Copies of this chain bind each other. A is one copy, B any other.
Amino acid sequence: MSFRDALGAALPADRFADDPDVVRAYANDQAAWAPSGRASVLVRPAGTDEVRRVVEICAEHRVPIVPRGAGTGLSGGANAVDGCVLLSMERMNRVLAVDAAEQYAVVQPGVVNDDLRAHVAEHGLWYPPDPASSPWSTLGGNAATNAGGVCCVKYGVTRDYVIGMEAVVGRGDVVRLGRRTRKGVAGYDLAGLFVGSEGTLGVITELTVRLLPLSGTVPHTIVGAFDSAVAAGRAVAAVAESGLTPSALELVDRYCLRAVDDWKKMGLSDLGDVLLLGRVDTAGEQGEREADRLRELFDGAGAAMSMRSTDADEAEGLFAARRLAYPALERLGPVLTEDVCVPRALVPDMLARIDAHASANGVHIANIAHAGDGNLHPLIIVPAGDDEARVRAQRTFEAILDDAIALGGTVTGEHGVGLLKMRGMRDEVGDTVLGMQRAVKNALDPVGIFNPGKVV
């Protein structure tokens, strides 16, 4: 039986899409610059057993599987490889259980991040990781990429919340990794290994995620306006050195503010050239003191203006603007998105280097950043159709990766390696560690069918 016939015999017909236009719509994530191959078929399984059958048949026929969530990735990790099955987890979108005493939820991988938050809020619980894509991206994709977000500076990343999972591995084995208890050390942390593995070790079919109690505290929002990104970076370093831990510390520069204003008429660029948006969610008097201290640190670092927002709508609007920055810039042309992370004290140095690369290469670079983590997203913008500018942008992209490594940082703080960061990752970790990564990949994917050619 041919591969396609075997698949067809194993799953109901409505699980498949062969139409090239439909398949093509699922063949890329949002890394516009990453190459993608021609998939053979799109499969939308309705449950774990269907995933198992797909993996069995793919293993037998040695057909690659590219698992994907909502396709909001920015490194090409979900891009099709030639002849692959695109395995979209969108139908497996149920919250299976919420255990309030043990503080976890069990979810299928296609549950949208914001939907989980809304669901568990009804139980007085909170799922912290909040990538900018949270209205669309799914928990499976968040786990596969170890997604970060705005709250990470205080609450950590996806890996800190995934405690267990079900996955289909090898030639079609369904396994449970990790635990549901608060602690557990029974063997290697394979669940942790799967988080951030970008679909290269197997297909995640269920996740157990730790939850925190939902706080009733209304956070304080503190805004600082600075004359340059480097000046704002100095405030970020000062916050780090103070030992204060805000629950968010975001940077948005003038390019982003103007792009959002042009689109949404929010008048943000009147506030200043580069904004730092800080949040403090500590309760009571302690929270008041921390909010005051954050504003003092902004002022001490040379803020042209600072304020504490007392209006919840205004505060929400400022953070909404930060989330809109990326789509607003995309309206202006193709965007090449960086994701470097450097020591927080070196944020001003890294921002200065980014400025210098923009000037030297004649490209526009807008900056948004999870600045409190040292996680910068310089966005290299190129006029549509300008191939020569694309070459300069690519050169700038690689130079920024090199600088991040030189400053003791990483080429990817939260977006993952995918296709775009494979060169940078190799330079960051070195050949021996890359060899260890490949050995792990080969040990857990002996047939070599899970998202081949990505990451390692």
B344 touches A414 (CB 8 A): no
User: A448 in the interface, Cβ–Cβ < 8 Å?
Assistant: no
Query: At the interface with chain B, which of A34-42, A63-71, A153-161?
Result: A153-161
A185:B415 contact, CB within 8 angstroms: yes
Cβ contact within 8 Å between A186 and B284: no
Contact A146 B185 (CB under 8 A): yes
A176 contacts chain B at the CB level, 8 A cutoff: yes
Q: Are A184 and B284 in contact (CB under 8 A)?
A: no
Q: Does A413 belong to the interface (CB within 8 Å)?
A: yes
Nearest CB of B to A119, in Å:
16
Would A185 and B190 count as touching, CB distance under 8 A? Answer: no
Complex alpha-carbon distance, A375 and B243, angstroms = 32
Which A residues, 137 to 175, have Cβ-Cβ distances below 8 Å to chain B? Answer: 145-146, 148, 152-153, 157, 159-160, 169-170, 173, 175
A196 at the interface (CB under 8 A from B): yes
Q: Mark A171-191, 1 if CB is under 8 A from B, else 0.
A: 001011101111111111110
Question: Any chain B CB within 8 A of the CB of A410?
Answer: yes
Which of B152, B179, B374 contacts A410 (CB under 8 A)?
A: B179
Shortest Cβ distance from residue A220 to the other chain B in the assembled complex, whole angstroms: 15
Any B CB within 8 A of the CB of A361 = no
Residue from the set A153, A240, A409, A433 with the largest chain B CB neighbour count within 10 Å: A433
Q: Given A101-B237, A213-B243, A343-B181: A186 and B429 within 8 A (CB)?
A: yes
Query: CA of A109 to CA of B432 in the docked complex: distance in angstroms?
Result: 22
A375-394 contacts to B (CB < 8 Å): 375
A148 partner residues in chain B, CB cutoff 8 A: 183
Instruction: Write the chain B residue with the least CB distance to A434.
Output: B187
Q: Is the CB of B183 within 8 A of A157?
A: yes
In the bound assembly, the distance between CA atoms of A73 and B46 in angstroms comes to 46
Q: How far is the CA of A440 from the CA of B184 in the complex (A)?
A: 19
What residues on B are CB-neighbors of A245 within 8 Å?
A: 213
Residue A260 interfacial (CB < 8 Å): no
Asked if residues B181 and A409 are in contact (CB atoms below 8 Å), the reply is yes
**A240-B101, A343-B101 known; A183+B416 contact, CB < 8 A:** no
A193 to B188 CA separation, bound complex (whole angstroms): 6
Whether the Cβ atoms of B343 and A190 lie closer than 8 Å is no
Q: Name the distance in Å between A343's Cβ and chain B's nearest Cβ.
A: 5
In the complex, the answer to whether A456 meets B187 with C-beta atoms within 8 Å is yes
B344 adjacent to A101 (CB under 8 Å): yes
Is A399 among interface residues, defined by CB-CB distance under 8 A?
A: no
Look across to chain B and name the residue whose beta carbon is closest to the beta carbon of A410. B184
Inside 8 A of A32's CB, which chain B residues have their CB? none
Per the 8 Å Cβ criterion, residues 271-292 of A in contact with B are 283-286
Q: Decide if A351 is an interface residue (CB 8 Å cutoff).
A: no
A176–B177 alpha-carbon span in the complex (Å): 26
Interface string of A200-237 (1 = CB under 8 A from B): 00000000000001000000000000000000000001
Are B436 and A190 in contact, with the CB atoms below 8 A?
yes
A373 within 8 A of B: yes
Instruction: Given A173-B432, A192-B159, A284-B286, answer yes or no on A185-B416 (Cβ-Cβ < 8 Å).
Output: yes
Known contacts: A159-B192, A437-B190, A440-B444. The answer to whether A100 contacts B243 by CB under 8 A is yes
Contact check, A341 vs B181: say whether CB atoms are below 8 A apart.
yes
Chain A residues 415-456 with CB under 8 Å of chain B are 415-417, 421, 424-425, 428-430, 432-434, 436-437, 439-444, 446, 455-456
Whether A197 is near chain B, meaning CB under 8 Å from some CB there, is: yes
With a 10 A CB-CB cut-off, give which of A170, A193, A455 has the most chain B CB atoms: A193
Using a CB–CB distance below 8 Å, which chain A residues touch chain B?
99-103, 124-125, 145-146, 148, 152-153, 157, 159-160, 169-170, 173, 175-177, 179-190, 192-193, 195-197, 213, 237, 240-241, 243, 245, 283-286, 341-345, 370, 373-375, 408-417, 421, 424-425, 428-430, 432-434, 436-437, 439-444, 446, 455-456
CB pairs A–B below 8 angstroms (13 shown): A99-B343, A101-B343, A102-B345, A124-B243, A175-B436, A181-B342, A183-B375, A183-B413, A185-B417, A186-B411, A187-B425, A190-B433, A284-B284
